[in-house]
């Protein structure tokens, strides 16, 4: 879930800061060996700075304060000179933070730093990639030329023109995605590119910084069934909470009364929360859906989705 990714990201940011501090200490220790006078100059600089602050707090004359500050600057300049003479870059003694904006604290002006958000997006992308070939499924690799130019009277256009319009719709959907976007039901026979376009949407929406979860229906509901008996947990909660859920191959899951109830809860809850879901399925007609699912599920599913029907021949067979 997103909260788990946030915890993981904050741990990584903290680890980065600790590494930067330790490495800086190691470099400074080496510099003290290379430049024996360095430690005394650092102490002199610090003492002069403390003296200037105390004088200012006591309301001392400006000349006394300036003299203390001058001593601090002189000690700094001498240390800088000696370090450069020993071939050491003075800047290298400071911690080299991965994020210079928040200095690896994860916070900037009381707000979460963008570096934390980038880590969360990275973790989510890695998770999606483990489940599906995300790097291969992009809009740029969706080749409409593989669809035939056969004219379909019911569509009023060729198969290729129809599939081009579906690709363009999905691209616009991803480009303008918000958490108030409609859900999509991508249906058609196997091998027509449904998963490819669903993952293309996931890829583009991930780039925009949204929390995207990709699961196959078969795997997800098998885990939900196991978690019912205490074997792990969190799958259902993660599906309910994702800003965009990609539920692939709806219809391949084993339907039990419990899974049926969970599917209804998933569709209904995400609809009530106005959270979009992209479903892909080989189930094309209302009649097929009603034979497999309850009327409540079908009504909620079709009532919450834009229907995109894929047509053509199995692209995996055409490519052979």
Q: How confident is the model at residue 320 (pLDDT cuts 50, 70, 90)?
A: very low
- DSSP, collapsed to helix, strand or coil, labels residue 279 as strand
Tens of pLDDT along 79-138?
A: 999 999 999 899 899 999 999 999 999 999 989 998 998 898 888 878 877 776 666 788
Q: Is the entire prediction scored with pTM above 0.95?
A: no
DSSP letter at 92 equals G
CATH class of 132-318: alpha beta
* pLDDT over 50 at 152, yes or no: yes
Kindly report the number of other CB atoms within 10 A of residue 282's CB atom: 17
pLDDT at 132: 67
Domain boundaries, the chain: 2-112, 132-318
Q: Can you tell me the distance from the alpha carbon of 58 to that of 69, in angstroms, rounded to the nearest whole number?
A: 15
Q: Are strands 157-158 and 277-281 parallel, antiparallel or unpaired?
A: unpaired
Kindly report the number of other CB atoms within 10 A of residue 10's CB atom: 17
Tokens of 74: 């002189």
pLDDT at 163: 94
Q: Can you tell me the distance from the alpha carbon of 137 to that of 142, in angstroms, rounded to the nearest whole number?
A: 7
Q: Are strands 305-309 and 277-281 parallel, antiparallel or unpaired?
A: unpaired
């Amino acid at each position: 879930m997103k909260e788990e990714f946030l915890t993981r990201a904050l741990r990584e940011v903290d680890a980065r800061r600790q590494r930067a501090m330790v490495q800086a200490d190691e470099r400074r220790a080496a510099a003290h060996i290379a430049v024996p006078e360095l430690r005394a100059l650092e102490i002199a600089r610090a003492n002069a700075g403390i003296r200037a602050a105390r004088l200012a707090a006591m309301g001392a004359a400006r000349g006394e304060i300036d003299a203390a500050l001058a001593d601090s600057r002189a000690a700094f300049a001498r240390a800088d000179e000696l370090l450069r003479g020993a071939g050491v870059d003075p800047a290298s003694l400071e911690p080299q933070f991965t994020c210079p904006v928040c200095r690896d604290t994860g916070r900037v002006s009381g707000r979460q730093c963008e570096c934390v958000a980038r880590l969360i997006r990275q973790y989510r992308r890695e998770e999606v990639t483990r489940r599906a070939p995300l790097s291969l499924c992009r809009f740029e690799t969706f080749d409409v030329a593989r669809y035939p130019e056969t004219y379909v009277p019911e569509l009023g256009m060729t198969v290729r023109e129809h599939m081009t319009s579906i690709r363009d719709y999905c691209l616009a959907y991803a480009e303008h995605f918000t958490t108030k976007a409609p859900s999509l039901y991508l249906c058609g026979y196997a091998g027509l590119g449904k998963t490819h376009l669903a993952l293309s949407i996931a890829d583009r929406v991930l780039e925009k910084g949204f929390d995207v979860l990709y699961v196959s229906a078969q795997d997800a509901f098998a885990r939900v069934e196991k978690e019912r008996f205490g074997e792990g947990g969190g799958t259902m909660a993660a599906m309910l909470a994702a800003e965009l859920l990609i539920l692939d191959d709806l219809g391949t899951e084993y339907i039990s009364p419990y899974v049926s109830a969970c599917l209804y809860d998933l569709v209904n809850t995400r609809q009530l929360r106005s959270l979009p879901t992209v479903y892909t399925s080989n189930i094309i007609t209302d009649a097929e859906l009603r034979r497999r699912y309850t009327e409540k599920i079908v009504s909620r599913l079709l009532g919450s989705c834009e229907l995109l029907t894929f047509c053509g021949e199995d692209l995996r067979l055409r490519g052979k």
